[in-house]
Amino acid sequence: MEEKQELIQTLNVDFSINLPDGTGMDQLHATLSQYINHLIVHNFTQLVNLLYRLDVNEKKLQQWLLENTAEDAGKIIADLIIERQLQKIRSRKQYKQQDDSIGEDEKW
C-alpha cells in the first residue's frame, strides 16, 4: 500500500476524520490543521492526549512553535503529526522486509 494511503487511513482512525482515499497531501494537511485548531480551542486535553499517543516529540513541537510564532499552530502540529506517522509507516515496512528475509527455521 502506498504511504499516502496508509497515512490517510491512520489519520482517519486516530482523528475520526473522513478523508477520501484519493485525498492529496495538501488537502490532508489542511483538513488535519483545521481539526487540530478546533481541538486547540475546544478540547486541548484531547489534543495533548493524541499527541502523546501518536508519540510526537514534545521538545521538537515546543521548539517549532517558538521558532514559528507567526505561523498557525495547527499547521505546525499537523506537520509534526504527518512526519511522525510517516516515520512509523516506513519503520514498519523496513522491519517487515527484514522479517520476511529471515528463514522460517530461524524465526521465533
Between helix 25-42 and helix 3-15 the angle, nearest 10°, is 20
Residue that has been written with the C-alpha cell 500500500 in this structure: 1
How far is residue 26 CA from its own chain's centroid?
14
- Please provide residue 100's backbone torsions phi and psi, each rounded to the nearest 5 degrees: -70, -25
- Map out the domains of the chain as residue ranges: 3-92
Tens digits of residue pLDDT in 23-71: 888 998 999 999 999 999 999 999 999 999 999 999 999 999 999 989 9
CA distances from 65 to 10, 14, 73, 105 (A): 24, 22, 7, 50
pTM of the model: 0.81
* pLDDT band at residue 3 under the 50/70/90 scheme: confident
